Amino acid sequence: AMGSKEGEVLLYYCYCEVKDPEKLCAWQKALCQHLHLTGKVRVASEGINGTVGGSKVATNLYIEVMLSQPLFKDILCRDDFKSSAGGAHCFPDLRVGVFEEIVPMGIDPKKVSYKETGIHLSPQEFHKEVEQYLSQANQGQSDTILLDCRNFYESKIGHFQGCLAPDIRKFSYFPSYVDENLELFKNKRVLMYCTGGIRCERGSAYLRSKAVCREVYQLKGGIHKYLEEFPDGFYRGKLFVFDDRYAICSNEDIISACRYCGTLWDQYKLCSSQHCRQLVLTCPGCRKKGLTACCPVCQEKELKVASRASGQALKEECECTRRRPRVPIEHISQSTLDTGK
């Protein structure tokens, strides 16, 4: 099993009223520095959202301190911390900042509040719901949509069987996705899920504000908590995480392919072109052949840049990024709901 030197990465959030976000931010930064934790923490007047890595001793102390902080005392509990094997090395540094929202949906928290959230289901309840949904969808008679509210590069390497996974690049595109696809959600029961539960808090509130769904449910604790209970359940593939690991795995399934040769592959690397921040699935064989960029445009650019000695790194979006439709219109068909999707 894990050696004692193995640290961990924690993921958590807490919605609550924060009167002085700047002060909470300073306290949080000092706490993480003191415990030698790295990672990212977002503070806002609506709460806190963080993912931090360090030694087991440090992460345990962090949880203790967070649970005793008066602001979170009656809201946050030990179970709200999701943990996975890792450590401080999983993040390049520590970033703690004050933001408008603790999860960037791009909608004023006063307009669509986390208080209007959907009905939370435990992993067990969610598992039962998905089981029922899959057997009904098999007979082509489901009134339910299993909605993945993560980004396309997350759902690509792992998702629930039979889910609807929007082809969006950022969570801030989720509201427009809902607006453009309202027909899809009419009179449906929606089962939503995301990595740790936080995107569902605002996502479900947004969906509910449209008043078209029959019911909106969300997976409490996200895929993280579901996999603890059901490592071989209805979630197949890896779980994408926003740190240097890119993914953690609960089962050996590989559900995605190398973008060059189509062989099964699910380990992301950053596009090799300096200016590009896209992730690419390219297998060892193709990488050996020099196929290391996210798209032909980047591959070309890289060759040009390599021949220009200046070496200044431009961080820009590649054409393939710009060409992606911001919000895809889903034409949902029975095949989308095909359980094997």
**Which residues carry out catalysis?**
194
Residue whose token pair is 């779980």: 239
For the chain, the distance separating the N- and C-terminal CA atoms, rounded to the nearest angstrom, is 33
- Our CA angle for 80, 242, 154, nearest 5°, is 100
CA distance linking residue 14 with residue 319, whole number of Å:
37
Instruction: For the chain, state the CA radius of gyration.
Output: 21
**Other beta carbons less than 10 A from residue 113's beta carbon:** 16
191 with 84: CB under 8 angstroms?
A: no
**Other beta carbons less than 10 A from residue 31's beta carbon:** 18
Q: Residue 125 is encoded by which pair of tokens?
A: 């309840």
Q: Residue 68 is encoded by which pair of tokens?
A: 């005793």
CA distance linking residue 25 with residue 190, whole number of Å:
35
